[in-house]
Amino acid sequence: MTCNPAVDRRTILKGATAGAALSITPLRHVRAAGTPVKVGVLLPTSGVLAFLGQACRRGIDLGAKMMAENGAPAVEILHVDTESKAEQGRVAAEKLIREGCSVLIGAFDSGTTISAAQAAEAAKVPLVVNIAAAPQITSQGFKYVFRNFTPGATLVYNAVARIKELSSLTGVSPKTAVLMHVNDTFGHAVAKGVDILWQKLNVPIEIVDTISYSRLAKDMSVEIGRAKAAKPDILMPVTRVNDAILIVRELVKQNVELFGVIGPGSPGPYEKAFTDATGKYGDEYMDCVPWYDPTRVKTRRAIAAFAEAYPDQRFELNVGFSYEAVEIVADAIARAGSGEPGALQAALRATNLQDHIMYGGPITFDETGQNPNIGGVLLQNQGGTPKVVGPAEIAVAKPVFPMTPFAER
Amino acid sequence: MVRRERKRTGRPRGVVAATAFFCALFLVPHLLDDAWVAVLTLVLFFAFVGQAWNLMMGHVGLLSLGHALFLGIGGYTTAVLLQDYGMTPWIGIPAGALVAAMVGAGIAWLGFRFSVRGVYFALLTIAFAEFFRILFSNWPLIGGTGGYFLRVVPEDNVPLLSLRGGADHFYYLFFVLFLVGLIVSARLVRGRIGMFWSAIREDEDAARALGVRSFRLKVLVVAVSAAMTACGGGAFALMNGSLFPNTLMGMQMSIQIILAPIIGGLGTLFGPFVGAVFVVLVLEFSRDLGQTAGVYGLSTLIYGLTVLGVILYMPEGIWPRLVRLAQPLRRDR
Amino acid sequence: MVELYLKVAAGGLLIGTVYALIAIGLTIIFGVMRVVNFAHGEMVVMGMYLGYALWTLFAIPAIPAALIAAVVLFGLGVFLQVTVVSRFVGRPQHSQFILFIAFALVITGLHLMLMGPDARSVMAPISFQTYSVGGLRLDAARVQAAATALVMILALVAFLRFTFIGRAIRAAADNPLGAEVVGIRSGRVYAVTAGIGLACAGAAGALVSPLFDAQPFLAPEFTLLAFIIVIIGGLGSLTGALIGGLLIGVAEGFAALLINPAMKSMFSYGLLIAVLLLRPAGLFGGREAR
């Protein structure tokens, strides 16, 4: 059935080798004895998540630069793009491991992270998760996965605590809420967490409607119309960036009157793209997320260095957690004293970083590989930038609640 | 017009070539490093699934633009049976194939019953695929858009029983699937059924007038194609360990599936493989180039331009062109 | 509650008019050339980016931007038709499909390179403005987009009815061979048709740029949306596309309101399946297109 023996096979092989040579070249780096430990970074720097992936990459690069300045052991960072595709995680991880990486950082998106984790686990190379909220990442029995980010449930737990606190802080008690969430991996996990915890923690705010919308929603007029009809005191949107912008626009156009908009664990409203696009209407939008601790010296140093390196960008949580991932890896390499993956895994397990930039307790990892000490803050956009308004110990501004009606801005 | 390969099994050179080719494929994990094994695993995956799709399009002329649906059905069935019911993929994959065959046959039955043809049939397949994708995205039992995740392979894992393992294991899994797919396709296409199929492809009305039971045969090819695709989906799910309706069942995946066989050569047995090699390598190459250059979108642009070039200058596909180059004199039209 | 229903219905009708313009672009190309433009959504997104760029760089609002986008995309359509697509007319569908997928990839690649992957929103006051009609608040941008789209559709109908080339296009759509026989040069007719088809997509894209954020990954959604409308209205029929657009606009709005916004397009696909099976010529007559 295969016609033509030699020529065809040779042609195929020739093509394959040519492709191989071209494809491998840019990734091959000169390797010599005693060279720096190779750290592989998987991020979605193209595709739907590219915007966020690139923010993470800035955090990684900044982290690597600052670690080097602080005299940490030399590392070599290898970046691979996962194209925002879950199945690409495994291929990318295998590629990096093959390139000699003894520890991986990644991968922003939960699906990609799990897919990469399978490869890392098989090769016994540790994976430090910078961002990814799916609970499965630390509940599937991985031994080489360490996550310094809050899983969906904790994210919501912290958010609920902040929302409860808000009433006592301002003396305004909202009674009803509408939960809106984007129907993607992340939004789904958070919304589910809200449902469960709301009952468990006995929150005195009734959720009168839950509205989920597509990841590619172009327009939110009906969704906001429906939310408005439920007449809630607060709106709780779990969004990405674009949909948060669309929500604000619709709130303004439909003149929805609310005590406040509070995103439980929602990415987006703290992004520069959001505050730029919504201007004054984006102000007083609140969000409960893990965030950097603005009171620490280390944080201020990192922010200053970031502002210098990327004057047009904002230092936010994607940057922060990616930065911390590098810090965690650098610390483990220093303690392990070698770039051997097994030693690094042991060192990572014993991690105990007291002084770091994100709000919360020391960075440690429990037996599932999860850092249980990550806190959550209440952010509010004020004057076009996100300000920490709670908890009181690290707040830099006072919350405005209830918010100024849109019509009066 | 789609050209069919001629029967050459009897020729010793053909046998030698085929044997050498498969030996080379078999030896890949011993010759290349893991990253390349992973890439070639993807090649085999797309070659196998493309082969399945090619049965419908290349051999019977039914254009399906929604094959990701069957991939998703196979993947989710295998994964859910394994995770929630503790069933080995040895049962899960055939079960997925069965479900997909039934869904495929159902869609085909509906479509042909109402004589939906040509571009309308293609749109019908898209509509069903998208319909199910959104349904799966909102189905809490399988995690919806939140995704469905397989637990880590246990320490005492026996790859031959669990069908899960390392890079080499999955390479051989897809290698076997690819081989089986090739043999099944060859047997079907070269047999009686295949003759009827090509009669339907060339002129359905004439075939029917001659007594070919085109309705049944068309439903059959859709079912077989769906079942094969679902097997690929099951193995793919085991390999990735995570399933998402948007990536596994989306339009993008449907397009990925059909690019390889069309670029490689429709209606040929080796076209899908050649096409998959081409597509995956171009993708890898353009990705690396884009990353090295640091220009976002460059990889998509290069990929698009390459596909454009192939469809413009080799509309019949790469494999037939290679065959023609290889034997300029013996070519008989 | 009544107010909400009215608002959803009005909003659906308004956006449906713009959808109709997109769908007409698709249907006119198919009607004349029997070629399905699978890259139609990418053309719409191109229009959105033009709308964004014209506003951001030169403060040109959506309506004039739509005219500029129409002209630019008309040129692109003629160019693509003359250089590449003409060779594919009459080729098998899968071959055309891959051609347009390649176009889609190239255009997406260019969008990514030029505009980046993040959503681009027009930062114009109009994005926050509304008109009040009898107690009903309607988006200013949406009303303007719908009105402009309607004018464009009417202009197109007039063009097809009253000009020589327009009539030639209709003749070619009705009977390609016959048109050739009576001396209508299909090459030029095809080029103009492709231009018009893309111009519709581009204009619609620019019109929605203050409403939706421009993003390369929106394209497949627009393509599928246009397909649904065109099939429901009857492939090749302009009136069908208009009614189909309005219907889908309203239906999606109510599906989001009454069922679940995340599942609203499932309703459209269900409708598409039903129409394909039961009334392949479309709900509103049109020619038997099989």
Mean pLDDT of C50-77: 95
Which residues of chain C neighbour A225 with C-beta distances below 8 Å? 4, 7-8, 11, 257
Smallest Cβ–Cβ distance between C137 and the set A212, A253, A279 belongs to A253
Query: In this structure, is the dihedral angle defined by the CA atoms of residues A287, A288, A290 and A295, taken in order, positive or negative?
Result: positive
Q: Average pLDDT over chain B, rounded to whole?
A: 85
Smallest Cβ–Cβ distance between B39 and the set A45, A91, A111 belongs to A91
Which residues of chain B neighbour A91 with C-beta distances below 8 Å? 35, 38-39, 42
Q: Residue B3: is its pLDDT beyond 50?
A: no
Bond from prior residue into A402 cis (ω within 30 degrees of 0): yes
Q: Residue A25: is its pLDDT beyond 70?
A: no
Q: What are the extents of the domains in chain C?
A: 2-278
Look at residue B11 in the predicted model and tell me its pLDDT: 55
DSSP classification of residue A221: H
Same domain, A277 and A385: yes
Categorize the per-residue pLDDT at C208 as very low, low, confident or very high, splitting at 50, 70 and 90. very high
With a CB cutoff of 8 Å and minimum separation 6, the contacts of B103 are: B69, B70, B73, B226
- How many residue contacts between B and C have a Cβ separation below 8 Å? 136
Q: Residue C252: is its pLDDT beyond 60?
A: yes
E-strand spans in A218-264? 234-238, 260-264
Cα diameter, chain A: 84
CATH of residue A191's domain is: 3.40.50.2300
Categorize the per-residue pLDDT at C288 as very low, low, confident or very high, splitting at 50, 70 and 90. very low
Query: In this structure, is the dihedral angle defined by the CA atoms of residues B136, B138, B144 and B145, taken in order, positive or negative?
Result: positive
d(CA B26, CA B9): 21
Question: Reduced to 3 states, what is the DSSP secondary structure of residue B157?
Answer: coil
- Alpha-carbon Rg for chain B in angstroms: 20
Q: How far is CA C185 from CA B88, C74, C172, in A?
A: 64, 19, 9
How distant is the Cα of C287 from the closest Cα of chain B, in angstroms?
14
Residue A25 inside a domain? The answer is no
With a CB cutoff of 8 Å and minimum separation 6, the contacts of A319 are: A55, A56, A58, A59, A62, A306, A313
CB atoms within 10 A of CB A209: 15
d(CA C205, CA C209): 6
d(CA B326, CA A12): 12
Q: Are C165 and C192 in contact (CB under 8 A)?
A: yes
Which chains are adjacent to chain B, needing at least 3 Cβ pairs under 8 Å?
A, C
Kindly provide the ipTM of the predicted complex, given to two decimals. 0.87
Q: DSSP states of B190-243 as a string? A: HSHHHHHHHHHHH-HHHHHHTT--HHHHHHHHHHHHHHHHHHHHHHHHHHHSEE
Q: Average pLDDT over chain C, rounded to whole?
A: 88
Residue A301 inside a domain? The answer is yes
Look at residue B130 in the predicted model and tell me its pLDDT: 93
Same domain, A224 and A307: no
How distant is the Cα of B301 from the closest Cα of chain C, in angstroms?
4
**Nearest-Cα residue of chain A relative to residue B25:** A13
Q: Are B58 and B3 in contact (CB under 8 A)?
A: no
Residue A13 inside a domain? The answer is no
A219, A224, A276: best to mutate for the C interface, most C CBs within 10 A: A219
The pLDDT tens digits for B269-323 are: 888 999 999 989 888 888 778 777 777 788 889 889 988 998 888 888 888 888 8
Q: Residue A1: is its pLDDT beyond 80?
A: no
Same domain, A183 and A280: yes
d(CA A389, CA A398): 5
CB contact under 8 A, A3 and B9: no
CB contact under 8 A, C277 and B114: yes
Interface residues of chain A, partner chain C, Cβ below 8 Å: 46-48, 50-51, 183, 211-214, 216-219, 221-223, 225-226, 228-229, 241-242, 245-246, 249, 252-255, 273, 276-277, 279, 281
**Nearest-Cα residue of chain C relative to residue B131:** C266
B25, B130, B149, B151: best to mutate for the A interface, most A CBs within 10 A: B149
Mean pLDDT of A367-389: 92
Question: Reduced to 3 states, what is the DSSP secondary structure of residue C45?
Answer: helix
How distant is the Cα of B35 from the closest Cα of chain A, in angstroms?
5
Torsion of CA A158, A163, A169, A171, to 10 degrees: -160
Same domain, A70 and A215: no
Question: Of all residues in chain B, what percent are helix, strand and coil, respectively (each to 5)?
Answer: 75, 0, 25
Question: Rounded to 5 degrees, what are φ and ψ at A218?
Answer: -95, -25
State which residues form the domain around A184. Answer: 153-289+377-408
The pLDDT tens digits for A305-351 are: 999 999 989 999 999 999 999 999 999 999 988 888 999 999 999 99
d(CA A188, CA A213): 10
Whether B137 and chain C come into contact, CB under 8 Å, resolves to yes
Instruction: Look at residues C149, C252, C154 and name the one whose alpha carbon lies nearest to residue C207.
Output: C149
The pLDDT tens digits for A42-88 are: 999 877 788 889 899 999 999 999 988 888 888 899 998 888 877 78
The larger pLDDT score, comparing residue B76 to residue B9, is at B76
Which residues of chain A neighbour B165 with C-beta distances below 8 Å? 122
DSSP classification of residue A54: H
**Nearest-Cα residue of chain C relative to residue B299:** C109
Q: Residue A22: is its pLDDT beyond 50?
A: no
The pLDDT tens digits for C266-278 are: 888 988 899 889 8
Mean pLDDT of C44-60: 94
Listed by number, the residues of chain B in 3-62 with a beta carbon closer than 8 Å to a beta carbon of chain C are: 57
What DSSP element (H or E) covers B100?
helix B89-113
Q: Checking DSSP bridges between strand A37-43 and strand A103-106, what pairing results, if any? A: parallel
Q: Are B133 and B249 in contact (CB under 8 A)?
A: yes
Whether B7 and chain A come into contact, CB under 8 Å, resolves to yes
**Nearest-Cα residue of chain A relative to residue C221:** A216
Look at residue A268 in the predicted model and tell me its pLDDT: 86
Q: Residue A381: is its pLDDT beyond 70?
A: yes
Same domain, A168 and A285: yes
Same domain, A97 and A159: no
Same domain, A165 and A101: no
Whether B301 and chain C come into contact, CB under 8 Å, resolves to yes
Torsion of CA B19, B25, B29, B33, to 10 degrees: 130
**Nearest-Cα residue of chain A relative to residue C135:** A254
Tokens of C7: 């608002």
Of A104-113, B92-101, B180-189, C259-268, least confident by mean pLDDT is C259-268
Which residues of chain B neighbour A79 with C-beta distances below 8 Å? 291
Q: Checking DSSP bridges between strand A75-81 and strand A103-106, what pairing results, if any? A: unpaired
Q: How far is CA A214 from CA C19, C40, C52, C266, in A?
A: 18, 21, 23, 11
- How many residue contacts between A and C have a Cβ separation below 8 Å? 95
- Give me the percent of chain A exceeding a pLDDT of 70: 92
Q: Residue C242: is its pLDDT beyond 70?
A: yes
Q: Are A213 and A223 in contact (CB under 8 A)?
A: yes
The pLDDT tens digits for B110-142 are: 999 888 888 889 889 999 999 999 999 888 888
Q: Residue A139: is its pLDDT beyond 60?
A: yes
DSSP classification of residue C134: T
Residue A87 inside a domain? The answer is yes
Listed by number, the residues of chain B in 289-328 with a beta carbon closer than 8 Å to a beta carbon of chain A are: 289-292, 296-297, 299-300, 322-323, 325-327
d(CA B313, CA B308): 9
- Give me the percent of chain A exceeding a pLDDT of 90: 43
Same domain, A217 and A254: yes
Question: Rounded to 5 degrees, what are φ and ψ at C19?
Answer: -55, -40
CB contact under 8 A, A26 and B289: yes
Of B1-5, B185-189, B280-284, C218-222, least confident by mean pLDDT is B1-5
**Nearest-Cα residue of chain B relative to residue A45:** B296
Look at residue A232 in the predicted model and tell me its pLDDT: 93
CB atoms within 10 A of CB C138: 18
Whether B266 and chain C come into contact, CB under 8 Å, resolves to yes
d(CA B2, CA B57): 10
With a CB cutoff of 8 Å and minimum separation 6, the contacts of A273 are: A51, A241, A245, C118, C119
With a CB cutoff of 8 Å and minimum separation 6, the contacts of B11 are: none
Categorize the per-residue pLDDT at A147 as very low, low, confident or very high, splitting at 50, 70 and 90. very high
Same domain, A48 and A142: yes
Tokens of A329: 């890896």
Instruction: Look at residues A317, A307, A305, A312 and name the one whose alpha carbon lies nearest to residue A386.
Output: A317
Mean pLDDT of B186-204: 86
Smallest Cβ–Cβ distance between B119 and the set C93, C112, C262 belongs to C93
To which residue do tokens 């909102």 refer?
B138
Residue A29 inside a domain? The answer is no
Question: Rounded to 5 degrees, what are φ and ψ at B243?
Answer: -130, 135
Q: Residue C215: what residue type?
A: Q
Instruction: Look at residues A328, B68, B117, A387 and name the one whose alpha carbon lies nearest to residue C93.
Output: B117
Q: How far is CA A192 from CA A32, A186, A373, B175, in A?
A: 50, 10, 22, 40
Q: Residue B333: is its pLDDT beyond 50?
A: no
In total, how many domains does chain A have? 2
Smallest Cβ–Cβ distance between C128 and the set A51, A183, A253 belongs to A253
Tell me the fold of C2-278.
ABC transporter involved in vitamin B12 uptake, BtuC (1.10.3470)
Of A187-196, A243-252, B1-10, least confident by mean pLDDT is B1-10
With a CB cutoff of 8 Å and minimum separation 6, the contacts of B155 are: none
Q: Checking DSSP bridges between strand A127-129 and strand A103-106, what pairing results, if any? A: parallel
Q: Residue B33: is its pLDDT beyond 80?
A: no
Same domain, A264 and A324: no
How distant is the Cα of B118 from the closest Cα of chain A, in angstroms?
30
To which residue do tokens 């793009």 refer?
A81
Tokens of B52: 């399945």
CB contact under 8 A, C113 and B298: yes
Which chains are adjacent to chain C, needing at least 3 Cβ pairs under 8 Å?
A, B
Q: DSSP states of A312-347 as a string? A: TS---HHHHHHHHHHHHHHHHHHHH-S--HHHHHHH
Which residues of chain C neighbour A247 with C-beta distances below 8 Å? none
Q: Are B230 and B101 in contact (CB under 8 A)?
A: yes
Instruction: Look at residues A237, A253, A144 and name the one whose alpha carbon lies nearest to residue A190.
Output: A237
DSSP classification of residue B152: P
Q: Are B243 and B237 in contact (CB under 8 A)?
A: yes
Bond from prior residue into C62 cis (ω within 30 degrees of 0): no
